[in-house]
Structure 1
Amino acid sequence: MIDTQKTGEFRYEVSDIRDQDEAGFGLTPSQTVGPYVHIGLTLEGSEKISDEGEQVTFTVIDGKGGPIADAMIEIWQTRPDGTYNTETVDGFRGLGRGMVDETGSVTFTTQLPVAADGEAPHLKVGVFARGMLERLYTRLYFPGNDNSADPVLQLVDAARRDLLIAEPTDGGHRMTIVVQHEDPEKETPFFRV
């Protein structure tokens, strides 16, 4: 599981090297996204994609049901004309970023996307968190749409497609993103991009 609250010993030996000239040559360990991933990536109000719209809430949890309280969610979506663009046009931009709170949740204000390029209306979702070498990519589809012909959703096993369909709420939608569940059938489907 992703450790969001340090307890116990470090996984790797703590080095006593204090200067780069003291370090030997060779391979270095891979770097992960650190606890400060949000610095410089999120701006105040970046969860507001549209001046008007509905709320879309994401909650990121680990396989044991605990919140991943340092995750950042990034979403991209079509503009009302079916094109992708991150410039603000008529109070709308197609990109949003937000840090989750202590419950693992972040809420965006946006308009519902439209169908484009032969795909059902959806949000493209990126998940960043401490300990991940690369962001995770997934999608959020909306109930009430004909999602059956979406070519990307068709790549997911039929039994797991519902994990990518938003749950309606008062005034919006919600998606729970499950990372590293012991039962692969319960983990959110992620895509290799």
Structure 2
Amino acid sequence: MERTAWQHSATRRSFRRYWRFAWVWLGCGIAGTVGCPWIGIAADGAGVKWLGSLMAGLWALFIGASIFGSCLVFNAARMRHRLRRHPWRPYPVSVLPPGWGGPIVQLRPAGSGVVFVQSVVALNYRWHHVADVATLWFCGVPGQGGVLARPGGKPLLWGRRIRVSWIRRWRERAVGER
């Protein structure tokens, strides 16, 4: 039986780092969302109107951080699900430059003419992890989505299936960068 990706220590370390990052965003967002109104009310009561106004603006930013953190935690749960159930498989890849979203990775299983297209779901400062590589590890179901990583199992990126069929077929035919 093949080892699951979760059994690789580098993968678990990378996942813990991602999980911690997600929960920090969510925790700070919730703390600020709950705390800002109380600080603003207390500041207004004490006659410090500028602080109350500042807290109203910060409150909106903390709501955004809570939403962002929730998305990260959800994505981490999806990653953990795939990592615990599937092995890492190396795939030769071509990377298409980002269009409206993240970069597009074409997974090309060796010995077959099939191309699986995955859109990288990550902030743009993490896109360089899929650029300039000829092989990526993939953990999941190629036609549906899964976790992408450089050989070695880190850093972890979520690759999702492109849902619009004509765009997916167009991206499957496109010639990527090697």
- TM-score > 0.5 by shorter chain: no
Structure in which a larger fraction of residues adopt helix:
2
Q: What TM-score comes out, normalization by structure 2 length?
A: 0.26
Of structures 1 and 2, the larger Rg is shown by 2
